[in-house]
Structure 1
Amino acid sequence: MLLLFSGTYFFYGDGPTEWQQVYIIIAMCLFVINHFARCVSSNRYFLWCTALDFLLATGFGVAFLGLGYPYELFYGIIGVTLLIGTDNKRILYVAAGLLVLVWSAILWVEISLIGSVHFLNTAINFGFVIFSALVGSLIRYFMLSRQKVGELYERLEESHQALREYAKQVEVLTAISERNHIAREIHDTVGHSMTALLVQLQAARKLQARDLELSEQALMRCEELARSALQQVRLSVRALREEEAQPISLVESVRQLLADFAEMTGVKTELQAQGQFSAVPESLKPIIYRIVQESLTNAKRHGNASSAVVRINSSEQEVLIVIEDDGQGVAEVVPGFGLINLRERVMELGGTVLFITQSGSGFRTEVCFPLKEQSWKFGGGGA
C-alpha cells in the first residue's frame, strides 16, 4: 500500500518536478528495504522501521506542501501497522502525539506560506487515518484472540493428557485397592474357616480310633466348613462384602461369631458388650466384626489358646474393642499378614490399635475408634 500510494504521486496534476520524482523513487526504495528489514528482524527493530516509514510519509507532506496531495494516507497505513504490532499504550500515545504535532505543523506552514488549506481533503484523509487506526486495533484484537484460543487449546490438550494419565493412575490404584480388598476378604473369611477346619480334622483323627460317632460328627462339621470356605472364596472373588448380606446388629453378629468359633475349635469364648450401639456408624460394624474374627483366629492358630474374652464398649465419644486370650504369647510382636491387615483397617477409619503380649501370658488386642474426632498415633506400641 505504501508503494501504491507513492506511485500515485507521479500522476497528480502536471506531475512532480524532477527533484520530487527523485524523492518518490528514493522513498519507494526505502519502503521496500524497510519492509524486508522488518521481516528479517521480526519484532526486534519494529519501532525503528515504523519510525522510518513515518519520516518518509512526513517527507511526502513536506515535498508536496500546499499541493493538496493526500500524504495523510501514509499515516493511515502506518497506523494500521503500528496497532497490529504493539498494544503498548505509552508507545501509542507517543505516536499519536507525534502525528498531531507533525500534521499541525504542516497545516500551519501551509496556512503561513500559501494562506489556504484544503479542508475537505484534510478532513477526508483524517477520517481515513481514524478508520485505519480502528481497523488496526480490530486486527490486533483478532490476532490476540486467535493466539489466546491457540494457547487455551494447548492447555486443554495438556489437561486432557493429564486427565488421561490420572485416569490410568486411578485405574491402577483401584485395581490395587480391589486386590487388597479381595486379599483381606480371603484371609479374614477363608483363613478363619481353615483354622476351624484344621482343628476339626485333628479332632476327627484323634476320635476315629475311640469314638466313630463323634468322629463322624467332626467330619460332618469339616464338610460344612469346607463348603462355607468355598462359598466365601466365591464371594471374595466377586468382591462382595459378607456384611452387606447379613443386616443384623453388631452385638448379634459378634455373638454368633464367638458361638460358631467355640463350637468349631473348642475354644471357650465370652462376649461382654456395654453401651448403646445404635450410635456406631455402619462403616465401623464390619470392621469390628473382622477385627474380632482375626483376633480369634490368631488366638487359636498362633497362640493355641483355650479361652478368649471379647469386650466391646460403646459411648458417644468412642468405641473400644478388647480381645484377650490365654494363649502362649510372644516376647515381641512381629505382625504378619493378618495383624497388618487389622492395623490397616483400623487406621483407615482413624482408629488406634495396640498389641500387648508376653511370652506365656497370652495376647491382648485393644482397638479404639473415635466417634466425634479422628486421630492417628504413631510410635511406641500403638499404630
Structure 2
Amino acid sequence: MIRGIKKQFDNQLLYFIGYFAWGAVGLLGIRLIEPGPMRTLCLGLVILYGVLFAVSAKVSAAWKDICCLVQTITVAALIALNSGWGVFPILYFILSAEVMMAFSQRKGLLWIGLFALFTAGIFVLVAGWQTGIITSLPYIAGYLFFGIFASAVAQARRERDKNSRLLQELQNVHRKLQDYSARIEELTISEERNRLSREMHDTLGHRLTVVAVQLEGAQRLIGENPEKSVNIVRTAREQIREALRELRGIVATMREPLQVNIPLRKALPKLIDAFEEATDFQVHLTIEDDVPNLTKAYRLTVYRIVQEAFTNIQRHAQAQNIWARIFLKEDHLVITIADDGVGFPEQISEGTFGLVGIRERASHFGGTVHLESRNGGGAQLRVELAVPKTSEVCETPVRGAKDD
C-alpha cells in the first residue's frame, strides 16, 4: 500500500512539473506575441496542448498515439506562427519526456525524431538551411536529453516495481515455507511418537506381559510350592529390571544427542565407545574420505540409524563383532552394518520394529533399507540415503578397520 501511494505521488509530481512547464512556456510565449487574432489563435493552441496533455494520461494506447500526434502538430503550428522563434519549441521537451515514458524506447525515439523533423523543417523554411539547422540543434539536443532522462526514470520505476513484486513473492514463499516447515515438524513428531509407541509395545509391552503372567503363576504356587514361587518372582524382578533398562534407552533415544552438533567422524566414535563399554561387542568403524559434510538433520538421521542398528544387533544377533562402514556411491550415502551373529529368520527379516524405525528415518532422505545375510555368517544391514546437493566434501579421515 505504501509503495502504491509513493508511485501515485511520483506520477502526480511529474505531471505537476509538466503542467508548470506548460503554463510557464504558454504564458511567456503568449506575452511575446502582439495583441490581436494571432495571440488569440496561439492561446487556443496552447490550451489545446494542455488539455491533450491531461487527457493522454488516462486514455488507451491507441488514443495516446492520436493525442501525441495532435500535440505534435499543435506545437509545430505554434512554432510556425511565431516568426521570432519564441519559446514554443520547449513544449516538445515536455512531449519528449511523455512519449519516452508512455511508449517503448524505440517508439519514443521515433516520436522525438518527428519533433526534430518538424522543428528543423520550420526553422529552415523561415531562416534558410544554414541558420535553420544550426538554430534547431540546441532544441533537438534538448528533446533527446529530456527523452533519454525520462526513459531512464521510467526504466528505474519499472525495475523498482519489479523488485517490489519479487520481494512480495519472496515474502509469500517464505511464509509458505514456514507453514510447510511447521507441518513437517508436526508430522515428524507424530511419526516419532508412532515409532516410540511401537518400540515400547515391542519391548516393554512384551516384558510386562511376561511379568504379569509370572506373578499370576507365583500367586497360585505361593501356598503349594513357596520355593518355586520365589524363583518365579526373582525371574519377574529381572524382567522388570530389564524393562527399566529398555525404558531408559527409549528415553535416551528421545533426547537429541550432543554428538549431533559435531561431524559424524567424531560423533560415531563416541557412540561406539559408549556402546562397547556397555556391552561385550567389538565395533569396527570405517568412514571413507569422500563422505561429505552433512546438515544437522541428516547427521541425526545417520546417527539414529547406526544407533538403532547396534541396538538390534545387541538384542537379536548373539554376535561378538560389528562392522560399520559409511561411504559415498554416486549420489547416495551408503551405510552398511554387519555382524558375525546367528543371522536372521527369513520370515521376520523385514518385519521387526527396529527395521521399521530405520526405514522411516531413511525415507525422509529418499533412502532404502535392505537386510541381507553376510558372507561368513551373520547379517548385514544396508541403508542408502540421497546426498544433499549443498554438501561439502570432508577432508579428515577416521580411524577404523575396513569391513571384511
Measured against the shorter chain, the TM-score band is 0.5 to 0.7
Find 1:319's aligned residue among 338, 350, 356.
338
Letter matched to residue 179 of structure 2? E
Once the two structures are superposed, what CA deviation does each residue of 1:98-141 show, in whole Å capped at 9, x if it has no partner? 2332222122212339x955967x56545543442344134313
Question: 1:30 matched to which residue of 2?
Answer: 48
For residue 147 of structure 1, the aligned residue among 161, 165, 177 is 161
| C-alpha deviation, 1:78, in angstroms | 0.5
State how far apart, in whole Å, the 2-side matches of 1:44 and 1:170 are: 53
Matched, 1:112 2:128: yes
Are the aligned partners of 1:192 and 1:293 in contact in 2 as well (CA < 8 Å)? Answer: no
CA distance in 2, matches of 1:285, 1:13: 97
| 1:24 maps to amino acid | C
Quote the residue 2:84 is aligned against: 67
Stretch deviating more after TM superposition (208-217 or 240-249): 240-249
Cα distance change, pair 217–289 in 1 and its aligned pair in 2 (3 A): farther
CA distance in 2, matches of 1:223, 1:36: 96
Report the alpha carbon displacement of residue 74 of structure 1 after superposing the two structures with TM. Answer: 1.0
Q: Secondary structure of the equivalent of 2:58?
A: helix
The answer to whether 1:248 aligns with 2:265 is no
Query: Contact (CA 8 Å) 2:221, 2:228: kept in 1 or not?
Result: yes
Partner in structure 1 of residue 186 of structure 2: 172
1:48-85 alpha-carbon deviations (Å, 9 max, x no partner): 32222222111212222x31212220110101112222
Unmatched 5+ residue regions in structure 1? 256-272, 297-307, 355-365, 376-383
Inter-partner Cα distance in structure 2 for 1:174 and 1:103: 75
Once residues 116 and 139 of structure 2 are traced to their aligned partners in structure 1, the CA distance between those partners, rounded to angstroms, is 13
Is the 1:31–1:53 Cα contact (8 Å) retained in structure 2?
yes
Shift of 1:12: 0.3
Counterpart of 1:165 in structure 2: which amino acid?
D
CA distances 1:123-163 after superposition (whole Å, capped 9, x unpaired) = 65455434423441343134224312321331232123212
Question: Given the two structures, how large is their TM-score scaled by the length of structure 1?
Answer: 0.64
Q: Give matches, 1:369-380, under 5 Å.
A: 369-370=381-382
Distance 1:149 1:248, change over 3 A: closer
* Aligned twin of 1:363: none
| Contact 1:80/1:132, CA 8 A, preserved across alignment | yes
Q: Alpha carbons of 1:98 and 1:367: their partners in 2 closer, same or farther (altered >3 Å)?
A: farther
- Is 1:48 the counterpart of 2:60? The answer is no
After superposing the two structures, state which structure 1 stretch, 72-81 or 36-45, moved more: 36-45
Q: Which amino acid aligns with 1:12?
A: L
For 2:262, the equivalent position in structure 1 comes to: none
Instruction: Note the residue ranges of structure 2 that are not aligned, 5 or more in a row.
Output: 1-20, 258-269, 288-301, 326-335, 373-377, 387-404
C-alpha distance after superposition, 1:348-376 (max 9, x if no partner): 3632258xxxxxxxxxxx964237x679x
Q: Residue 150 of structure 2 aligns to which amino acid in structure 1?
A: G
**Contact 1:208–1:215 (CA<8 Å) still a contact in 2?**
yes
Aligned residue type for 2:236: C
1:231-264 CA-to-partner distances (Å, cap 9, x unmatched) read 64466457248996981239x8487xxxxxxxxx
Which residue of structure 1 aligns with residue 208 of structure 2? 194
Contact 2:97 2:151 (8 Å CA) reproduced: yes
Inter-partner Cα distance in structure 1 for 2:324 and 2:164: 60
Superposed CA RMSD: 4.5
Is 1:12 equivalent to 2:32 in the alignment?
yes
Amino acid at match of 1:249: E
- Does the aligned pair in 2 maintain the 1:197–1:222 contact within 8 Å? yes
SS at match of 2:381: strand
Q: Distance in 1 between matches of 2:205 and 2:211?
A: 10
2:368 alignment partner, SS class:
coil
Opposite residue 2 of structure 1, the aligned amino acid is W
**SS of 1:249 mapped into structure 2:** helix
**Residues 147 and 43 (structure 1), Cα distance of their counterparts in 2 relative to 1, 3 Å cut:** farther
Deviation at 1:33, TM superposition (A): 3.9
Letter in 2 for 1:14: E
Question: Could you tell me which amino acid in structure 2 is paired with residue 288 of structure 1?
Answer: A
Structure 2 distance, partners of 1:133, 1:56, is 19
Specify whether residues 104 and 324 from structure 1 end up closer, same or farther in structure 2 by C-alpha distance, changes over 3 A only. Answer: closer
Q: Structure 1: how far apart are the matches of 2:255 and 2:160?
A: 53
Q: Which has the larger radius of gyration?
A: 1
Contact 2:120 2:132 (8 Å CA) reproduced:
no
Distance 1:202 1:253 in 2: 33
Contact kept in structure 2, 1:310 and 1:324, CA below 8 Å: no
User: How many angstroms apart in 1 are the aligned matches of 2:159 and 2:309?
Assistant: 60
